[in-house]
Amino acid sequence: MQSNAALEYDYSLAKKFTFLTILFGILGMLVGTLIAAQMAFPELNYLLGEYGTFSRLRPIHTNTVIFGFTVSGIFATWFYLGQRVLKVSIAESKFLMVIGNIQFWLYFVGALAATISLLFGVSSSKEYAQYEWPFDIVVVIVWVLWGVGMMGLIGIRREKALYISVWYYLACFLGIAMLYLFNNMAIPTYFATEGLGSILNSVSMYSGTNDALVQWWYGHNAVAFGFTVPIVGMIYYFLPKESGQAIYSYKLSLLSFWGLMFVYLWAGSHHLLWSTVPDWMQTMGSAFSIVLILPSWGSAINMLLTMKGEWNQLTDNPLIKFMVLASTFYMLSTIEGPIQAIRSVNAIAHFTDWIPGHVHDGTLGWVTFMIMAAIFHMAPRMFKREIYSRKLMEAQFWLQTTAVVLYFTSMWIAGITQGMMWRAVDEYGNLMYSFIDTVTVLHPYYAIRALSGVMYFIGFLMFAWNIYKTMTAGKELTQEPQFRTPMA
Amino acid sequence: MFFHWLEKNPFFFAAAISIVISFAGLIEIVPNFAKAGKPLVDLKPRTVLELAGKHVYMKDNCQSCHSQMIRPFKSETDRYGDYSLSGEYAYDRPFLWGSKRTGPDLHRVGNYRTTDWHENHMMDPPAIVPGSIMPAYKHQFTNIADIETAYAEAVTVKNAFHTPYGPEFQRTRAAWDAHRPKVLADAKLIADDMRNKDVKEAVANGEVPEIVALIAYMNSLK
Amino acid sequence: MNALMIKALAFAAILMIATVWVVMSLNIDIVGDSVNAITMAGALAIAVITAAVSVKYINQMKTDTASGELADETWDGIGEYKNELPSGWAYSFLAVFLWSMWYGMFGYPLNTYSQIGEYNEEVLAYNAKFEEIHKNPDEATLIEMGESIFLVQCAPCHGNTGDGLSGKAHDFTTLGHFTKEQVLDVIKNGSNQLGYAMGIMPPGMASGAQAEEIAIYVAGGMKGEQPASFASCSSCHGADGKGMNGMSPNLVVYDQELVHHVLEHGKKGILGEMPSFKDRLTPVQEKAVTAYVQSLSN
Ligand code: HEM
Ligand code: HEM
Ligand SMILES: [Ca+2]
Ligand SMILES: [Ca+2]
Ligand SMILES: [Cu+2]
């Protein structure tokens, strides 16, 4: 094994993916803010003709934030921290550099093309798997390239034991590969006939209840292996690294990891409670969802305990604030989800705004906060400059925190209200509310959510600006900082 | 210790993850696969026009606001009709249950809404239901539905999954040319109940506006 | 308790109070419906547990210090303590695991629980609860009952006020129950869809000026002097136009008979098509909407 002599890491790929993270983040959240506003002010559906309706834009929002923003963030952080915890520079292998660059360009072009296809309504309709088959193929190739690059880097590592973060990135790769492939199995109809109809159309290999089961086995675990596993991988690196503290407990890391791996996959049927999938599967989904609280909270608690005694870091390093709050929102969404998976609670929560509320606790409070914190940590090391403005970062933190709180409180109240109104009967036993009553009553909450969207989006622009200025105008650094990120 | 060893052997580490994450799916999905795919005895696959309408529904992504899954609660069966049964969905590829009810469930909307109502509603929802936040889908009155793709899909599922489409459903272009007039006849039945002149004219000229196919699909949801 | 904990719990409390307040202001029964009650309890659990546990650990940042035995390895300068599991976490894991076994074996037994069985019980309980009210409702009760049914089931076409949304469906608010155009259309084309004992009404029962005057008379609610030409209608609808005790449609008011036939068979006319509501309303509900529809034209 080598000595601790400093290695020159190659950040070119990490930088490229960082740019994409910011680009897709802006795009995805802009559309998110627009669709939130459309639910409060339906006139906004007509800004772009056929292409501007809520229903066309919604998948653009979800796919851009998931497959654009989050996945870029995962790639960017992998190409940064992977090298560091494996103690090997990617530039040591020409092959890996080439693979990484092909991955980047194919991904960039593929993601743009896929987004445009959704705008034109080319969609295979399954949630978070809307891309039609040609784009699915691109996704698979990109993923395989990433896998090859990851395995390759692990293959030439100097650090014998895999650090915790690597466990999670590896699981992310394997999990998504398996899920994506099975859920998107489809037959292109053009090739199954004498070239009839559109070349883009395909038909799912599964039908009805089976299709639903495969979809939500995918959908739930896409959340697991996209919004949870790699983000946990990030925090296990960036929080101790930024704070200089050692991980609180290896044992807790270990149990949380394997617990998460084992339990997550069983819980998918909580998306299908009270549907036509067999009762026993629903029961399994409910029960495992509750169990899932513990392995999820295990990681969050491990992170909070890592910061034991470091109150001063929490108060005077905004980066630590982002990450501690991210852990807290992770705890919120991983107890909210399980409770929504209880049969009776789901009878109210399912189909209502409480679900998007839960979703954005996770995505805004946990995923996006963590990805932004990671980029704030990486930027000075990648660009060899100080963070441009600490003040801006503080302001951004408070603006976005307020936004998340407004988002989830408004959707929490809206969802519970809506769910209970659907069920309500009057004194004679007849339905008390017509459907439209349950829509109009939500207007104020939709308006608040739209406002929170604007706030969060502005926060994200502040972030983007700060990183841009860091790259171009931050004070130059002569030496890479060991722990705490320098900021002006 | 086993885990320390595992952490130094990435190949086995990856293998262990793969095993741990695969078997939940096997245990939950596989055992019921055949049973959950079974159609109700008298279930008919959708006509080509209805299938084209389903494609319009998917293109405009109505499932982002509408579910098609009536849960077994009295409040839902009162509002929407009988609770949904697995066998009703056996020919749905993909399933369109949705996960959000910004608008009402549509699984049995064919029972309680009619062609002319949809025509008015899709043109301008708030004019029919004051306070509606559903967008208007005016473009469906001028865009032409892709009935050929719908036919190709019917043929594909017939050959691949034995979906019971008749012998006239063949892979060839000639078979499609022969079937086309049938689709247009179905479209005319819908257009007859509509008021929009351009739509009627398009159908008379052998074209099927998206709205006609969509309404055929809506009416088939029963 | 320290300040942070108090703030967190206060936030949880405000959120819960706001939720309960909004729901109650909509006349929703939280305690009486077990599903609502469990949901509120769940919401409370989410808010309180998250607030309390996260603040508990955040407080340790203030009060505790990091300690323990460090592992030999470091990764990019990151070390690891060999600390034991936090006991609260470990016991909770165990407890929840045991609970899940209980849930699958006794709560919702994997081999016997059926959601359709539960639905059937819900319907039985519902019937038991409302049977009494539904037995002999008086007129005022019927109208009130009818209004809420109408607003849920009929308003999407007939409008909240029953005015038919400017000619898109039947207007219940006018004096006569048809417009002149509707009557003329039936006279011209006949009618064959409502399933009355008398069977069909043939087309062309009158024409020209006669049809015109009949239509005006019928649309006017059959007030004033009856035109002689109405004789061609009375043979079936009766001299008073009231349908000869349910043999044919009542042309004057929306009687129970008419509403029943329309709900049973639906109706397609010049305004559009109304779907059949067969089996979607109970007899009491049908009576109630009738009473309400009648009340609209008064
Ligand atoms: C212990 C962990 C979790 C459990 C048990 C859980 C459970 C649930 C449940 C029960 C639903 C609602 C299904 C429905 O009725 O429609 C749901 C929806 C969702 N959750 Fe979670 N959740 C967890 C954590 C998370 C996290 C951390 C995130 C993301 C950051 C997340 C993202 C989502 C998304 C995107 C949906 C919406 C799915 C859809 O489109 O319907 N969940 N979750
Ligand atoms: C500016 C911030 C954002 C706003 C205003 C926003 C708004 C919205 C809205 C209005 C919806 C549709 C909800 C509905 O149909 O009722 C939605 C769905 C969704 N958003 Fe966002 N969003 C934002 C950011 C994000 C981010 C950053 C992510 C992920 C990293 C994300 C992930 C999702 C997901 C997964 C769904 C689907 C939820 C479901 O189907 O239940 N959003 N968002
Ligand atoms: Ca796909
Ligand atoms: Ca959804
Ligand atoms: Cu899930």
Q: What is the CATH number of the domain that holds B207?
A: 1.10.760.10
Q: Tell me how far CA of residue A222 lies from CA of A129, A210, A240, A253, A370, in angstroms.
A: 10, 18, 27, 22, 18
Q: Measured between beta carbons, which residues in chain B are less than 8 angstroms from residue A424?
A: 75
Q: Which two tokens stand for residue A74?
A: 């995962």
Q: Measured between beta carbons, which residues in chain A are less than 8 angstroms from residue B8?
A: 160-162
- Total domain count for chain B? 2
Regarding the beta carbon of A445 and ligand 1, being less than 6 Å apart is answered no
Instruction: For residue C83, give how far its alpha carbon lies from the nearest alpha carbon of chain A (Å).
Output: 5
Rounded Cα gap, residues A245 and A371, in angstroms = 20
Distance B205 CA to ligand 4 centre (A): 40
Using alpha carbons only, give the angle A336, A73, A38 rounded to the nearest 5 degrees.
Answer: 60
Which amino acid belongs to residue B138? K
Give a yes or no: residue A128 inside a domain. Answer: no
Nearest CB among A287, A428, A482 relative to C145 is that of A428
Q: What is the pLDDT of residue A1?
A: 40
**Which one of C27, C44, C75 makes the best mutation probe of the A interface by having the most chain A beta carbons within 10 Å?**
C75
Write the pLDDT tens digit of every residue in A149-167.
999 999 999 999 999 999 9
Q: What is the pLDDT of residue C175?
A: 79
Give a yes or no: residue A322 inside a domain. Answer: yes
Using alpha carbons only, give the angle A303, A304, A306 rounded to the nearest 5 degrees.
Answer: 65
Contact A265, A289 (CB under 8 A): no
| Interval A307-327 mean pLDDT | 96
Output the residue whose Cα is nearest ligand 1's atom 27. A362
Q: Are residues B95 and B189 in the same domain?
A: yes
Give a yes or no: residue A413 inside a domain. Answer: yes
Q: Up-side HSE of residue A398: CA atoms within 13 Å toward CB? A: 6
Give a yes or no: residue A236 inside a domain. Answer: no
- Among residues 138-167 of chain B, which lie with CB inside 8 Å of chain C? none
Write the pLDDT tens digit of every residue in A201-211.
999 999 999 99
Write the pLDDT tens digit of every residue in B31-90.
788 888 899 999 999 999 999 999 999 999 999 999 999 999 999 999 999 999 999 999
Burial class (CB within 10 angstroms; exposed 0-12, middle 13-18, buried 19+) of C131: exposed
Nearest Cα to Cα of residue B86 among A278, A282, C119, C116: A278
Domain containing A428: what range? Answer: 307-488
B37:A210 CB<8 A: yes
Q: Tell me how far CA of residue C56 lies from CA of A305, A313, A338, B154, C9, in angstroms.
A: 10, 17, 21, 60, 12
Q: Are residues B153 and B118 in the same domain?
A: yes
| Ordered DSSP codes for A186-240 | EEEHHHHTTS-S-TT-EEESS-HHHHHHHHHHHHHHHIIIIIIHHHHHHHHHHHH
- Total domain count for chain A? 1
By percentage, how much of chain C surpasses pLDDT 90? 89
Q: Are residues B85 and B114 in the same domain?
A: yes
| Interval A191-219 mean pLDDT | 96
In total, chain B counts a number of residues equal to 222
Q: Measured between beta carbons, which residues in chain A are less than 8 angstroms from residue B152?
A: 189-190, 192-193, 196-197, 201
Domain containing B113: what range? Answer: 48-220
By percentage, how much of chain A surpasses pLDDT 70? 99
Rounded Cα gap, residues C237 and C77, in angstroms = 96
Distance A401 CA to ligand 1 centre (A): 21
Regarding the beta carbon of A215 and ligand 1, being less than 6 Å apart is answered no
Instruction: For residue C14, give how far its alpha carbon lies from the nearest alpha carbon of chain A (Å).
Output: 10
Give a yes or no: residue B24 inside a domain. Answer: yes
| Interval C131-136 mean pLDDT | 84
Q: Which two tokens stand for residue A336?
A: 């909210």
Give a yes or no: residue B41 inside a domain. Answer: no
Q: Tell me how far CA of residue B144 lies from CA of B48, B199, B200, in angstroms.
A: 14, 10, 13
Q: Are residues B107 and B30 in the same domain?
A: no
The list of chain B residues with pLDDT below 70 reads none
| Ordered DSSP codes for A302-370 | HHHHHTTT-HHHHHH-HHHHHHHHHHHHHHHHHHHHHHHTSHHHHHHHTBSTHHHHHHHIIIIIIIIHH
Nearest CB among C152, C160, C280 relative to B81 is that of C280
Residues with Cβ < 8 Å from C138, sequence gap 6 or more? Answer: none
Q: Up-side HSE of residue A165: CA atoms within 13 Å toward CB? A: 31
In the block, tokens 């949801």 appear at: B221
Atom of ligand 1 nearest to the CA of A273: 15
C285 touching A (Cβ < 8 Å): yes
Task: List, chain by chain if needed, residues with CB within 6 Å of any ligand 2 atom.
Answer: A 29, 32-33, 35-36, 58, 61-62, 65, 69-70, 353, 355-356, 359-360, 363-364, 367-368, 453, 456-457; B 99-100, 102
Rounded Cα gap, residues B126 and A473, in angstroms = 52
**Widest CA span in chain C:** 111
Could you tell me how far CA C25 lies from the centroid of its own chain?
18
Contact B34, B66 (CB under 8 A): no
Instruction: For residue C14, give how far its alpha carbon lies from the nearest alpha carbon of chain B (Å).
Output: 26
Write the pLDDT tens digit of every residue in A462-472.
999 999 999 99
Regarding the beta carbon of A419 and ligand 1, being less than 6 Å apart is answered no
C76:A245 CB<8 A: no
Output the residue whose Cα is nearest ligand 1's atom 6. A337
**Which one of C273, C276, C282 makes the best mutation probe of the B interface by having the most chain B beta carbons within 10 Å?**
C273
Rounded Cα gap, residues B102 and A391, in angstroms = 40
Q: What ipTM describes this predicted complex? A: 0.95
Give a yes or no: residue A482 inside a domain. Answer: yes
Give chains near C: 3+ CB pairs under 8 A. A, B
Rounded Cα gap, residues B136 and A433, in angstroms = 24
A335:C50 CB<8 A: yes
- If you ran DSSP here, which 8-state letter would residue A243 be given? H
Output the residue whose Cα is nearest ligand 1's atom 4. A337
**Ligand lying nearest the CA atom of residue A188:** 3
Rounded Cα gap, residues A219 and A172, in angstroms = 14
Contact C210, C230 (CB under 8 A): no
Write the pLDDT tens digit of every residue in A389-398.
999 999 999 9
Domain ranges of chain C: 137-297
**Ligand lying nearest the CA atom of residue B103:** 2
B102 touching A (Cβ < 8 Å): yes
Give a yes or no: residue A86 inside a domain. Answer: no
pLDDT of A3 higher than 70: no
Q: How confident is the model at residue A2 (pLDDT cuts 50, 70, 90)?
A: very low
Q: Tell me how far CA of residue A113 lies from CA of A135, A139, A226, A251, B200, in angstroms.
A: 8, 11, 21, 44, 36
Rounded Cα gap, residues A327 and A362, in angstroms = 10
- If you ran DSSP here, which 8-state letter would residue C70 be given? B
**Model confidence, pTM:** 0.96
Nearest Cα to Cα of residue B130 among A443, A215, A223: A443
Distance A354 CA to ligand 5 centre (A): 14
Q: How many CB atoms lie within 10 A of CB C101?
A: 11
Nearest CB among C118, C272, C280 relative to B114 is that of C272
Distance A137 CA to ligand 3 centre (A): 9
**Ligand lying nearest the CA atom of residue A40:** 2
Pocket of ligand 1, candidates A340, A346, A360, A363: which has the most ligand atoms within 8 Å of its Cβ, to mutate? A340
Q: Measured between beta carbons, which residues in chain B are less than 8 angstroms from residue A208?
A: 36-37, 86, 88-93, 95
Peptide bond into B94 cis (omega under 30): yes
Write the pLDDT tens digit of every residue in A224-274.
999 999 999 999 999 999 999 999 999 999 999 999 999 999 999 999 999
Q: What is the pLDDT of residue A216?
A: 96
Q: What is the pLDDT of residue C176?
A: 82
CATH number, domain with residue A392 = 1.20.210.10
| Interval C131-157 mean pLDDT | 92
Instruction: For residue C216, give how far its alpha carbon lies from the nearest alpha carbon of chain A (Å).
Output: 36
| Interval C271-276 mean pLDDT | 96
Q: Measured between beta carbons, which residues in chain A are less than 8 angstroms from residue C49?
A: 335
Q: Are residues B19 and B66 in the same domain?
A: no
Q: What is the pLDDT of residue A61?
A: 98
Q: What is the pLDDT of residue B36?
A: 82
Burial class (CB within 10 angstroms; exposed 0-12, middle 13-18, buried 19+) of A262: middle
**Which one of A118, A163, A207 makes the best mutation probe of the B interface by having the most chain B beta carbons within 10 Å?**
A207
Q: Are residues B85 and B139 in the same domain?
A: yes
Average predicted confidence (pLDDT) for chain C: 94
**Ligand lying nearest the CA atom of residue A66:** 2
